[in-house]
Amino acid sequence: MAKEPGSTDGAPEELSDLRVLKALAQPRRQQMLQHLTVHGPATSATLARALGLNTGATSYHLRELSRYGFVEETAGTGHGRERWWRAVPGDRRFPPRSKQNAETRLVMDELNRLSYAADLELFEQLQREAGDAGAGLGEWADAFPYSRGTIRLTLPELREFFEEYIALLNRYKRPDAETPADARTVLTRLLAFPAPAAADTPAPMPAPHPAPLPSHSSEPEATS
């Protein structure tokens, strides 16, 4: 059964198959997933026009993304034989770096590079569209909550912090039928990492067999 947009299925899914990660790390597919996530369902022709591709290419990439469960067909406008596609939501986790072999690490590094570059491009695009005093966004001109913080945590505490963040995110997710008409898609990103040690400070001794910290994506776009 197809999941409602914004729904969660409980148990996270770890994407450890290298074939799946390689399929996801293709730049055009990342662009298509981003478009479907931000703008909603689309046809291959819509995606082709938006991304400057031909429909043959977008159709191929949609089939590949569908093969691995990242997109699926959905009801569209009902015009002719158009095939509409949507991004499939879910709690997808990537293998922690300590469990990645050399090839997987290269693929994950590319996924991360593509994701961070796409996020920055979207943010800069919105700033340009907002214009002076945010006139281009209307009442959403102040919708840029931003935080940079520093906390001292153990690895288990950081893992708990991460899961609490995911739980908070899921609290605000809901099916389209329950979403107010004046709601907008809001992109949320969490990046946390240990501060590098000072040059004259020895690295801390690792705890015995620490549990790895997972990466997460609540959408089909890659996040580390």
Lowest mean pLDDT of 55-59, 151-155, 219-223, name the range: 219-223
State the angle between helix axes of 27-39 and 102-130 in degrees (0 to 180), rounded to the nearest 10. 40
- Percent of the chain, pLDDT > 90? 59
Q: For residue 159, give the nearest of 98, 218, 214 by alpha carbon.
A: 214
Q: Tokens 């943010």 appear where?
A: 123
At residue 78, the pLDDT reads: 58
Distance between CA atoms of residues 92 and 97, nearest Å:
15
Q: For residue 86, give the nearest of 24, 41, 48 by alpha carbon.
A: 41
Lowest mean pLDDT of 94-103, 107-116, 210-219, name the range: 210-219
Lowest mean pLDDT of 26-30, 115-119, 156-160, 212-216, name the range: 212-216
User: Measured between alpha carbons, how far is residue 143 from residues 82, 132, 157 in Å?
Assistant: 35, 15, 30
Question: What band does 77 get if pLDDT is binned at 50, 70 and 90?
Answer: low
Whether the per-residue pLDDT at 15 is higher than 50: the answer is: yes
Distance between CA atoms of residues 34 and 188, nearest Å:
13
Q: What is the pLDDT of residues 114-125, one digit of tens each?
A: 999 999 999 998
Tell me the whole-structure pTM to 2 decimals: 0.76
Residue 30, Cβ neighbours under 10 Å: how many? 21
Whether the per-residue pLDDT at 83 is higher than 60: the answer is: yes
Q: How far is CA 199 from the centre of its chain?
A: 34
DSSP labels for 54-106? -HHHHHHHHHHHHHTTSEEEE-----TT--EEEEPP--EEEPPGGG--HHHHH
Q: What is the mean pLDDT of residues 68-72?
A: 95
